[in-house]
Structure 1
Amino acid sequence: MRGLLLPGMLRKEKPQSKQKGKTCDKNTLVSVDGPMVDDHIDLTRGADRMQMDGDQIIGDSSILDVRFSLAHVRRDVEVLTLRDSVVKACKRIVTDLEVVEDEKSKEAHHLKKKISSLKKSCEASEARVNEREKEIDNLQSTLARA
């Protein structure tokens, strides 16, 4: 029932002296009280019409000061704060994943270098083995002749 104005919620009060944050003069102060309002809405000699969540508040002339604190505004702020926290957490996760990805790519590059060096070492060893086999074949043929 957010924003619902029930009969008896509008009441006229006598003007008060200036208080911190309020503008009061000889005009009539209209305040709205109810279950959906945490503090209250001050309309000093209010506008012809003012829309609030689809419900109309009817006043007399121009709005001098409108101050309000509604529960749904606080919920919206809490949702935005929560959304901000989720966004920050997601950014941290993305940053962590980028660091891990960077580390893994460095590790992968290091492993590729190591594999390349091992391939070269294996090729060199294979070449030495081939040379040894040729030497053995030559020695065997020399022994067979003798």
Structure 2
Amino acid sequence: MPDFIFSWRLTALIRTLDRRYRERMIKHMEKLLVVLSIALLLTGCRGNAPPEPKLPQVAPPPPTTEAPAPPDKKVAPAPQPDQEVSAAAAAYDSLAKDYYDAGNYDKAIAYYEKALAIDLKTLDPEHPQIVATYNNVGLA
């Protein structure tokens, strides 16, 4: 049944209902439409759409026996700090900045110190982030 016919019949049904039940019925019908939409998405029902064309099967390429060329220079990657720990330090730093902007310097210093403790565990002592945090503590 096309959507516009369903909508028209639903509208006609709602108009015939008693006024005190109309709002409740509309809410239930909206919930029903959401549930039906989710069910259609989960089952993959496509209505009257034509089926997707099937692609021809292609054989995988034969494996190569050549060894990969060695790189010219071997450079060790720079050590990266743990992303979650770095995010926690950034969150503490952001909270400290908000408290500093609000004029609550005691809380700002406490959060800057928490961020500094995390940064000292994960970063090199001469990292620019640690220097910036020391500067922020000095300003607060």
After TM superposition, the score normalised by the length of structure 2 is 0.21
Larger Rg: 1
Structure with the larger strand share: 1
Give the TM-score normalised by structure 1: 0.21
- Which one has a larger percent helix, Structure 1 or Structure 2? 2
